[in-house]
Amino acid sequence: MASVSTNEMKSGTKVLIDGEPYSVIENEYRKPGKGQATNSIKIRNLKTGRVLEKTLRSGDSWEAADVEDTDMQYLYNDGQFWTLMDPSSYEQIQAGEAAMADAAQWLKGEETVRVTLWNGVPLSVAAPNTVELTITETDPGLRGDTATGGTKPAKLETGAVVKVPLFVTEGEKIKVDTRTGEYLNRAGK
């Protein structure tokens, strides 16, 4: 297995520590002029999301983790697994609930998603930054009220619930930012 030395660790470098995959967030080199050099390295566990800081002697290395980000097409959910397809090889893989996390609520099928694979197994799935979805359920808004800035909850076709302005109505398609879960605008037909 390839290894990565402290001077090769950049933000985004993927490493394996005690069998767990991590992504490097920050790497700070410190050295007293005539003393021991160390690197303080902030890393994120790619399975749990937990962030920790480690001190290494400069020149030490970690094993490189076989982690890659790739774009795949989301096909369907069978109630337990989400099936994803590599658009070039048509190879299909399945992601569980932990990997899907927040992404699941924005997907209805056919979308291109960013999948982080570790040894070929999906660690995490990111929905497209914005999605357009139809409102299936929301209270009728107050007619003519377009300016006061009030909001109400609206349920989307995928089951996600977002806050929308009062003038938006059931059956309308809206654009949502999946990173913040916020309504952006009406998407029209």
Residue ranges that bind other proteins, judged by CB under 8 A: 7, 28-38, 40, 54-60
Parallel, antiparallel or unpaired: strands 182-186 and 3-5: unpaired
Nearer to other proteins, 57 or 163 (CB): 57
Residue 135: how many other CB atoms lie within 10 Å: 19
Parallel, antiparallel or unpaired: strands 173-177 and 130-138: antiparallel
* Dist CA 96 CA 110 (whole Å): 18
Give Cα separations from 119 to 16, 19, 94 (angstroms): 12, 12, 14
CA trace torsion 83, 70, 66, 122 (10° rounding): -20
Shortest reach from residue 32's CB to other proteins, in Å: 5
Nearer to other proteins, 35 or 49 (CB): 35
Q: Which pair of tokens denotes residue 75? A: 């096909």
Shortest reach from residue 123's CB to other proteins, in Å: 23
Nearer to other proteins, 30 or 50 (CB): 30
Shortest reach from residue 15's CB to other proteins, in Å: 13
Nearer to other proteins, 33 or 171 (CB): 33
Shortest reach from residue 66's CB to other proteins, in Å: 22
